[in-house]
Amino acid sequence: MATNEDNYDRAKELKQFDDSKTGVKGLLDSGLSSIPRLFVHPPQTLAGLKPSSSSSPPPISIPTINLSAPDSDRRSTIAAEISRAARELGFFQIVNHGISPEALDRTIAAVKAFHEQPPEVRSRFYRREMGTGVSYLSNVDLYQSKAASWRDTLQVRLGPTRPAPEQVPEICRDAVAQWDREVVRLGEVLMDLVGEGLGLGAGRLTELSCLDGRTMVGHYCPQPDLTVGLGSHADPGVLTVLLQDHMGGLQIKYGEVWVDVKPVPGALVINIGDLLQIMSNDEYKSVDHRVLANSNREPRVSIAVFFNPSTRDKVFGPLPEMVSPEKPAVYRQFTYSEFMQRFFTKELDGKSLRNYFKL
């Protein structure tokens, strides 16, 4: 006798969901009573995804670094704090970064407003390719992953060439342009401080076009708490600047333990990407992180800007300054184009991208 297991056609369900062009928000709006099977993760993945009720303290906390007056006599202290966090955890939060609370709130509100438009409005932007520089989709690795994460994403390529204004959804057009200006200014400061922590000369990472290839993703994770908001993964690029709302749920992996990155009012979360770990010859860490299932009725909104090189044919690998007879190169040389091609052919929750380039 045939069972539901026998009759399940995953490829068909994936295509139906993708063809709807309305994401997980569309599933919720349709009044679904259970989560579709393509979003159901195996028990080992779901284990530990609920916040712990344990009263024992976490093994470590994510440092919050005061970025005020980076050009004063505090600079060496700030660079040292960033370097320590980048080497030990790969993550830190920054406050007094020069972006106003109003700008943070405006950006979150604009991305939330896009995702909560009527389906016929937002579906006009639904596409998997980034030909226009703007796309709305659910799960960049939808067809590669074993189970989909419960989120939708507005993705905007901000550099090296910005999309034409009319290609960005009108409801968040001005906010996205303003956020890009704020993040570029902050990125210039961070790139120098991160480089100084490695002993690199001023402007070294900027010279390598690490500020120029920017992509923004605005994630929207609505209510159900029975699945994964964002599966475990490491970011592929140089640096990530993340604005998260008050909902929380972000965790990083520290050894074999998951540690909460608790929202700090007015803070931005910064993390090291795979490419920077490679360039630093393993001095800095790019670590796995994930988003817990959301047990609240309120959606979780987060906006990440990924800083990447803009020159796809440029060759990358450990920087010459980071290689010595005592510490030979851990990775081979490769073009950025090869690097990103590898990223887009693997599922997010899979083998580390860095491992493909190890010597």
The C-alpha atoms of residue 316 and residue 334 are separated, in whole angstroms, by 5
pLDDT in tens, 60-77: 889 999 999 888 999 999
With a threshold of 0.85, does the pTM exceed it?
A: yes
pLDDT in tens, 292-337: 766 677 888 999 999 999 988 889 999 999 999 999 999 999 999 9
DSSP state of 357: G
Identify whether 55 is part of a domain: no
Q: Are 231 and 349 in contact (CB under 8 A)?
A: yes
For tokens 């989120």, name the residue. 151
Domain that holds residue 70: 13-50+61-357
Burial zone of 71 (CB within 10 Å; 0-12 exposed, 13-18 middle, 19+ buried): exposed
Look at the chain and count its residues.
Answer: 359
For tokens 């679904």, name the residue. 32
Identify whether 2 is part of a domain: no
Segment holding 186, helix H or strand E: helix 173-196
Q: Are 256 and 289 in contact (CB under 8 A)?
A: no
Identify whether 3 is part of a domain: no
Identify whether 8 is part of a domain: no
CA 44 from chain centre, in angstroms, equals: 23
The C-alpha atoms of residue 216 and residue 240 are separated, in whole angstroms, by 10
**Residue 50 DSSP SS3:** coil
Quick one: which of 245, 261, 182, 251 has its CA closest to 214?
Answer: 182
Q: Are 211 and 188 in contact (CB under 8 A)?
A: yes
Q: Are 83 and 198 in contact (CB under 8 A)?
A: yes
Quick one: which of 140, 136, 130 has its CA closest to 25?
Answer: 136
DSSP state of 286: -
Mean per-residue pLDDT over the chain, rounded: 87
Structure tokens at 253: 């992996």
Could you read off the pLDDT tens digit of each residue along the chain, which spans 359 residues? 334 455 778 888 888 888 889 998 998 888 876 777 888 766 555 555 554 444 456 668 899 999 998 889 999 999 999 999 999 999 999 999 999 999 999 999 999 999 999 999 999 999 988 778 999 998 777 777 777 777 899 999 999 999 999 999 999 999 999 999 999 999 999 999 999 999 999 899 999 999 999 999 999 988 655 566 677 889 999 999 999 998 888 999 999 899 999 999 999 999 999 999 999 999 999 999 988 766 677 888 999 999 999 988 889 999 999 999 999 999 999 999 999 888 877 655 555 789 889 99
Identify whether 228 is part of a domain: yes
Identify whether 125 is part of a domain: yes
Domain CATH for 338? 2.60.120.330
Is the omega angle on the peptide bond into residue 160 within 30 degrees of 0, that is, cis? Answer: yes
Q: How many domains does the chain have?
A: 1
Segment holding 302, helix H or strand E: strand 300-308
Identify whether 131 is part of a domain: yes
